[in-house]
Structure 1
Amino acid sequence: MAHLLRQAIYQKKEFLKTKLMLSEFYRGRGEQLADYTLSELEKEYESLRKMKKEM
């Protein structure tokens, strides 16, 4: 069970990092994003989504 949870967390982190790196705002910051926790990545992603909605 623990293995499945770790795998799910890893996949979610990779998904969020990919989405963030594809945005113009995070280009070239992949190394920095690699050190982020899942919670931090989710916060950054939500901030980016809100910022895009306001534009």
Structure 2
Amino acid sequence: MLNQAIQMRKNYLIDQLIEAGYTKMVDGRQLYELTLTELEEVYRNVLE
């Protein structure tokens, strides 16, 4: 159940970042390759 919640949060963050035009990291990694913690940090930096 926890894994499902984590994946749902990751999907939400990825969707929000893509809508904002952010599709991959400067190091070339795609958003789906990031951990939840990394996605949260990118989300804060890009959208807040």
| TM-score higher than 0.5 | yes
Q: Give the Å deviation of 1:49.
A: 2.1
Q: List, as ranges, runs of 4+ consecutive aligned residues in structure 1 with deviation greater than 6 Å.
A: none
> Relative contact order (C-alpha < 8 Å, sep 6+): which is higher?
2
Unaligned segments of structure 1, at least 5 residues:
51-55
User: 2:8 matched to 1:8?
Assistant: no
**How many residues of Structure 1 are paired with residues of Structure 2 in the alignment?**
44
Could you say which structure has the higher helix fraction? 1
User: Which TM-score applies when normalising by structure 2?
Assistant: 0.80
With structure 1 as the length reference, what TM-score do the two structures score? 0.71
Distance across 2 between alignment mates of 1:19 and 1:49: 9
**Unpaired runs of at least 5, structure 2:** none
Larger Rg: 1
CA root-mean-square deviation: 1.4
